[in-house]
């Protein structure tokens, strides 16, 4: 049996996950970051169960998508998943990919039949940051989009608890 460092395991705790048709949205409650995984990255992440090797994941991915998927594509996804803290257990680069950086991997993969894995990430404001943007010392000056009660603290009007035009 392979050592567990070769068997990546997806992190699922303290995450809010929303699966859409072509992407998966993941909000990380630990560090207030939102991630958008394209279908390839999302499939790889879902296949990371701590029981499958990089090669196993590539095989499952190829079967699911009915396209050619190899270790390089899976490694690109795992590299990004690890970077964004979406793996509990990270994978170690296979010997034939060790030492290659992401740019070299993308160049080597070229135009594969399967879309390259992509994860876009943004940092969400913390509740304290949001509150500070909504704070106001003068009456009737609460910015649009901030919480409100009645029309007392809003620039325009309070609509369902949110200031707006």
- The 10s digit of each residue's pLDDT in 140-157 is 565 566 666 555 555 566
The predicted structure's pLDDT at residue 21: 85
Per-residue model confidence as pLDDT tens digits over 25-46: 999 999 889 999 999 899 999 9
Domain boundaries, the chain: 4-123, 127-164
Question: Is residue 138 over pLDDT 60?
Answer: no
Residues 80, 78: Cα–Cα separation, whole Å: 5
CATH of 4-123, one of 3.40.50.300, 3.90.930.60, 3.10.129.10, 3.40.190.10: 3.90.930.60
The predicted structure's pLDDT at residue 148: 66
Residues 6+ apart with CB under 8 A from 101: none
Phi-psi region at 6: left, alpha or beta (left = phi > 0; alpha = psi -120 to 50): alpha
pTM of the predicted model as reported, rounded to 2 decimal places:
0.66
The predicted structure's pLDDT at residue 118: 76
111, two tokens: 């135009």
């Amino acid at each position: 049996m392979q050592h567990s460092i070769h068997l990546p395991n997806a992190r699922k705790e303290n995450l809010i996950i929303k699966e859409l048709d072509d992407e998966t949205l993941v909000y990380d409650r630990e560090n207030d970051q939102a991630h958008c995984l394209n279908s390839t990255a999302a499939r790889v992440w879902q296949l990371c169960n701590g029981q499958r090797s990089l090669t196993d994941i590539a095989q499952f991915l190829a079967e699911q998508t009915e396209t050619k998927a190899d270790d390089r594509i899976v490694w690109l996804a795992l590299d990004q998943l690890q970077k964004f803290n979406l793996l509990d257990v990270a994978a170690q680069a296979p010997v034939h990919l060790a030492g290659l950086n992401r740019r070299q991997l993308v160049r080597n993969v070229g135009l594969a039949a399967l879309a390259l894995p992509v994860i876009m990430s943004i940092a969400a404001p913390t509740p304290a940051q949001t509150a500070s943007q909504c704070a106001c010392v003068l009456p009737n000056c609460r910015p649009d989009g901030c919480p409100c009660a009645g029309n007392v603290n809003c620039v325009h009007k309070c609509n369902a608890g949110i200031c707006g035009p």
